[in-house]
């Protein structure tokens, strides 16, 4: 791990090819997206990364965060969960993100995928 950030919506751990976001909040809106985007763009500074978001339960994600708060560094998003409801939510989110998007059952699978996306 390169660095760990404590954000208002969860913990962000930055690695060379991916940022692991332990998403703990119940909602994710513009202010929270700006906070995450700023941390990512500051940390990666021109490098590309994939955000891996762990989710135990469904969340309220403002769809505008994908359009109005794009990160310069993020080229992919991976959702990690074993919940069928979270999987359905991720399917809806997939159409909002312009980069690579995947759903995985474990962090290791998502991290391996992230490395192929970045390289």
Q: What is the pLDDT along the chain (119 residues), one digit of tens a residue?
A: 999 999 999 999 999 999 999 999 999 999 999 999 999 999 999 899 999 999 988 888 999 999 899 899 999 999 999 999 999 999 999 999 999 999 999 999 999 999 999 99
Domains (range + CATH), the chain? 3-118 (3.30.750.24)
Residue 56, pLDDT score = 87
- The C-alpha atoms of residue 95 and residue 73 are separated, in whole angstroms, by 19
| pTM above threshold 0.85 | yes
Asked if residue 18 lies in contact with residue 52, where contact means CB atoms within 8 angstroms, the answer is yes
- The C-alpha atoms of residue 64 and residue 51 are separated, in whole angstroms, by 17
The H-or-E segment that residue 26 falls in is none
């Amino acid at each position: 791990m390169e660095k760990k950030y404590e954000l208002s919506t969860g913990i962000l751990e930055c690695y060379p090819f991916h940022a692991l976001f332990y998403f703990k909040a119940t909602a994710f809106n513009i202010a929270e997206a700006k906070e995450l985007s700023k941390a990512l763009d500051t940390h990666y500074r021109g490098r590309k990364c994939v955000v891996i978001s762990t989710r135990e339960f469904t969340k309220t994600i403002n769809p505008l965060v994908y359009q109005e708060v794009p990160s310069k560094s993020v080229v992919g998003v991976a959702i990690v969960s074993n919940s069928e409801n979270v999987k359905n939510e991720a399917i809806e989110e997939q159409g909002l993100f312009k980069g690579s998007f995947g759903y995985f059952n474990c962090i290791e699978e998502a991290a391996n995928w992230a490395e192929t996306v970045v390289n």
